[in-house]
Amino acid sequence: MFNPFRKSKGDISIIKSVSDHIETYFGEAAWVMHEKESPGIHVDVYVVEATAERNYKRLITSGMSEKPMPVPEGASDGRYAELTLCLPPEWPLSMEAFKDEANYWPVRLLKGVARFPYKNKTWLYAGHSMNWSDPPQPFAANTAMTSVALSWPKLGPPEAQTISLGSKKNARLWAVYPLHEVEANFKVNSGSDALEKLLDGAGVTELLNPGRPSVVKHN
């Protein structure tokens, strides 16, 4: 039977809370990508495999919620968070496959976004976005996307959006949405609601399509 605690160096209470949450709302995790070295916070990535009813793999972080983010007044519900991203069922996830950045970048993205608030003394919430590099460069050779935004997960029940960490402490589960540079610029200029409307209209969810076209027309 899968044991999420084996090999993990993370906070045991968070590991249990996240593992229970995943099993309740997304299905039992098949395995975990455990970190050997953890700068700042320990971030593991859980993998829920695809099924006949759920034609995608789901990745979920465990460890971002180890530390609170410095949220502004009135935003205490966003103090803790974890992240999720889905991949096509054929996406290779193995140490051998990860030698190719075209396979590994979604995992790298999750870990990087999870650490972003603590490295930059800021916070992340739905509607927030960031460029991955300066100047913006594609994540890997198999995509033209360069940036990322956070929003609510769409492939799952609304109850899955909040993880109970015990002692009246909850973490938000944010979906990670890779963006084209033009989409990230549109969000900055027109707002997150305007971008969200375009993404929804195009049927974009947290299921990654590395080759998807931009929902914003180029100037």
**Measured CA distances, 154 to 93, 95, 151, 158, 209 (Å):** 23, 29, 9, 8, 15
- 7 or 51: which carries more pLDDT confidence? 51
Q: In terms of DSSP bridges, do strands 44-48 and 162-164 run parallel, antiparallel, or are they unpaired?
A: unpaired
Give pLDDT tens digits for 83-105.
Answer: 999 999 999 999 999 999 999 99
- What's the mean pLDDT in 37-62? 92
Identify the pLDDT of residue 99.
Answer: 96
Give the pLDDT band of residue 6 (cuts 50, 70, 90).
very low
Whether pTM > 0.75 for this model: the answer is yes
Q: Indicate if the pLDDT at residue 48 is higher than 80.
A: yes
Identify the pLDDT of residue 219.
Answer: 57
Identify the pLDDT of residue 76.
Answer: 86
- What is the per-residue DSSP string for 41-75? S--EEEEE---SSS-SEEEEEESGGGS---PPTT-
